[in-house]
């Protein structure tokens, strides 16, 4: 009986943390796969317009190098520690897919000069905003300061470009518009989930 309980508990933990684990494993696999695999997975404007639609999703688990990957996985862990409990696994998956596709389509439609893109950071901005909004809806107020800092960061990036040192650490230029599109899509996804939950008279998770 104890073994059954332990197995059930382990299964529950895996399900609860399925999203960050999946994103981390896919990102690591893409990095281990080498330059050819990364080139096949990253956002590529011409390839997408030619029908390679998977790149709208796979671009976000593809990175420039190990430093870029480590920076984004650290951000993912922090976001999950802060907000992971606030949505169900299905809701987090919906937010993630919505943000991934929204960011990629935003780049495709609004950044015609961007021929390729890779990285998790745009999605991280979306997950952060969605989590912070759920936290506010649950009655917490410290997230107002966090959202204020994020808005300040996004404003700086749109006016002055990437934060000092971030491009060097990532190993390449930063597409700051992806951060903005991520924040917007995260806001929209969270709003839809929270409004639906409120209309149904139950918490988001």
Helix (H, G, I), strand (E, B) or coil at 197: helix
Name which of 138, 189, 182 is nearest 157 in CA terms: 182
Tally the C-alpha atoms within 13 A of residue 49's C-alpha that lie toward its C-beta.
10
pLDDT of residue 1: 41
Domain 2-200 sits in CATH at 1.20.1540.10
pLDDT of residue 76: 98
45-60: pLDDT as tens digits: 999 999 999 999 999 9
To the question of pTM greater than 0.85 for the whole model, the response is yes
Tally the C-alpha atoms within 13 A of residue 26's C-alpha that lie toward its C-beta.
16
Report, as ranges of residue numbers, the positions in the chain whose pLDDT lies below 70: 1-10, 202-205
Domain range annotation of the chain: 2-200
């Amino acid at each position: 009986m104890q073994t059954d309980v332990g197995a059930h508990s382990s299964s529950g933990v895996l399900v609860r943390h399925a999203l960050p684990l999946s994103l981390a494993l896919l990102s690591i696999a893409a990095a281990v796969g080498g330059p050819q695999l990364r080139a096949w997975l990253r956002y590529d404007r011409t390839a997408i317009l030619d029908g390679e639609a998977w790149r709208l999703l796979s671009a976000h688990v593809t990175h420039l190098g190990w430093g870029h990957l480590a920076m984004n996985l650290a951000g993912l862990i922090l976001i999950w520690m802060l907000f992971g409990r606030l949505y169900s696994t299905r809701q987090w998956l919906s937010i993630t897919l919505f943000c991934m596709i929204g960011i990629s389509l935003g780049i495709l439609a609004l950044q015609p000069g961007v021929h390729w893109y890779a990285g998790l950071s745009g999605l991280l901005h979306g997950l952060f905003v969605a989590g912070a909004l759920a936290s506010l809806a649950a009655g917490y107020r410290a997230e107002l300061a966090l959202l204020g800092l994020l808005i300040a960061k996004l404003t700086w990036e749109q006016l002055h470009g990437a934060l000092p040192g971030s491009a060097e650490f990532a190993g390449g230029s930063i597409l700051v518009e992806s951060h903005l599109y991520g924040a917007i899509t995260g806001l929209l996804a969270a709003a839809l989930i929270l409004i639906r939950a409120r209309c149904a008279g139950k918490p988001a998770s």
